Amino acid sequence: MASLSLYKLNQTPKRNGSNNLSEEMMRYEEILRKLKSLADPEARAKLARFGIKTKNIVYGVPAPALEKLVKEIGRNHALAQRLWKSGIMDAQAIAVSIDDPKLVSEEQMEVWVKDFDSWAICDATCNHLFRKTSLAYQKAEEWSKRDEEYVKRAGFVLMATLAVHDKKAADETFIKFLPIIKQEATDERNFVKKAVNWALRQIGKRNLNLNKKAIEIALEIKRINSRAARWIASNALRELTSDKVQKRLSRR
């Protein structure tokens, strides 16, 4: 199939009636056929080398092709739900980019976060969708204290991405995350400890005040008798105290 029908993808479905359901299903099936036609076995094979292991179907569609589809489809909350439920990683990658953050409920967030089984879909969902919702800060705190590996990772990924993108947030908003980062720094699971480290570094790069606070908590973490904690702290301190970061923050 050469291309998707923009008419089918972009037309606004009716609010009620069977036509709405049939049109939505046609668009959904058209997208799945397109994704399958773009499958790249070599790209799929590379995923494991990047630590992306999932129980879901993966076509390995290249990122530029996915981005093109996202632009063609536009915002569509209902279609995003169908694509997520497909169990196809490439379709889920589209779902997180076309969903409307204003329509995402707490129930949806809890269902989706439990579906995470790779760092890739976890990070993509948090960065492209969940951080834009009204519940982002609440879930960052809640999930960071949960035990499930990718749920916990999601909490810290939200902290990291919010620190980067929410330019208007007050320092205190992020300072309250620091004790949580310290508390969870002993988790030895690779995808958790890397997310904890990521959150600490991004908070510490917002401004000089938060840099000072992040360095202080990193020094406390470094004294914890834990291999994961020592790695998290040492790695963060190396960046947060670097001349490059200090000079950039001083210019602000």
Could you report the per-residue pLDDT of 3-45, keeping only the tens digit for each? 333 333 443 444 443 456 677 777 899 999 999 999 888 877 7
Sign of the alpha-carbon dihedral angle for 16, 17, 23, 28: positive
The reply to whether 115 falls in a domain is: no
Pick the last residue of a domain from 82, 99, 116.
99
The reply to whether 154 falls in a domain is: yes
**Per-residue b/e over 56-82, b at no fewer than 16 CB within 10 Å?**
ebbbbbeeeebeebbebbeebebbbbb
The reply to whether 104 falls in a domain is: no
Are both 133 and 246 inside the same structural domain?
Answer: yes
Instruction: Say yes or no to pLDDT of 159 above 60.
Output: yes
DSSP 154: H
Are both 172 and 242 inside the same structural domain?
Answer: yes
Q: From residue 70, how far is each of 52, 99, 150, 192 by CA, in Å?
A: 22, 10, 25, 29
How far apart are the two ends of the chain, measured CA to CA in Å? 51
Pick the last residue of a domain from 31, 64, 99.
99
- The mean pLDDT of 211-217, rounded to a whole number, is 98
State the Cα–Cα distance between residues 4 and 73, nearest whole angstrom: 9
Are both 95 and 214 inside the same structural domain?
Answer: no
CB contact at 8 A, 159 and 194: no
CB contact at 8 A, 224 and 186: yes
Angle (CA) 109 114 119, round 5° = 100
The pLDDT, as a whole number, for residue 217 is 98
Are both 244 and 131 inside the same structural domain?
Answer: yes
Residue of 44 and 244 predicted with greater confidence:
244
pLDDT averaged over the chain? 90
Instruction: Say yes or no to pLDDT of 231 above 80.
Output: yes
Question: How many CB atoms within 10 Å of residue 227?
Answer: 11
In 3D space, the residue among 221, 220, 215 whose CA is nearest the CA of residue 237 turns out to be 215
The pLDDT, as a whole number, for residue 7 is 30
The pLDDT, as a whole number, for residue 21 is 63
In 3D space, the residue among 24, 124, 34, 132 whose CA is nearest the CA of residue 82 turns out to be 24
Instruction: Say yes or no to pLDDT of 211 above 90.
Output: yes
pTM of structure: 0.88
The reply to whether 244 falls in a domain is: yes
- The mean pLDDT of 181-201, rounded to a whole number, is 98
Q: Which residues are CB-neighbours of 221 under 8 A, at least 6 positions away? A: 181, 182, 185, 200, 229, 230, 232, 233
DSSP 170: -
Are both 60 and 140 inside the same structural domain?
Answer: no
Are both 17 and 83 inside the same structural domain?
Answer: yes
The pLDDT, as a whole number, for residue 252 is 79
Are both 233 and 166 inside the same structural domain?
Answer: yes
How many folded domains does the chain comprise?
2
Q: CATH no. for residue 176? A: 1.25.10.10
Instruction: Say yes or no to pLDDT of 216 above 50.
Output: yes
The reply to whether 110 falls in a domain is: no
- The mean pLDDT of 169-190, rounded to a whole number, is 98
Instruction: Say yes or no to pLDDT of 189 above 60.
Output: yes
- Which value, in Å, is the radius of gyration of the alpha carbons in the chain? 20
Are both 252 and 143 inside the same structural domain?
Answer: yes
Instruction: Say yes or no to pLDDT of 2 above 80.
Output: no
* pLDDT digits 0-9 by tens, 88-113: 999 999 999 999 999 999 999 999 99
Are both 50 and 130 inside the same structural domain?
Answer: no
Instruction: Say yes or no to pLDDT of 223 above 90.
Output: yes
Sign of the alpha-carbon dihedral angle for 57, 61, 67, 70: negative
Query: DSSP string spanning 19-82?
Result: HHHHHHHHHHHHHHHHHHHT--HHHHHHHGGGT---SSB-----HHHHHHHHHHH---HHHHHH
Are both 134 and 252 inside the same structural domain?
Answer: yes
The pLDDT, as a whole number, for residue 214 is 98
The pLDDT, as a whole number, for residue 12 is 40
The reply to whether 6 falls in a domain is: yes
The reply to whether 218 falls in a domain is: yes
Q: Which residues are CB-neighbours of 211 under 8 A, at least 6 positions away? A: 204, 205, 240, 245, 246, 249
Q: Which domain holds residue 163?
A: 125-252
φ, ψ for residue 134 (rounded to 5)? Answer: -75, -15
Are both 73 and 164 inside the same structural domain?
Answer: no
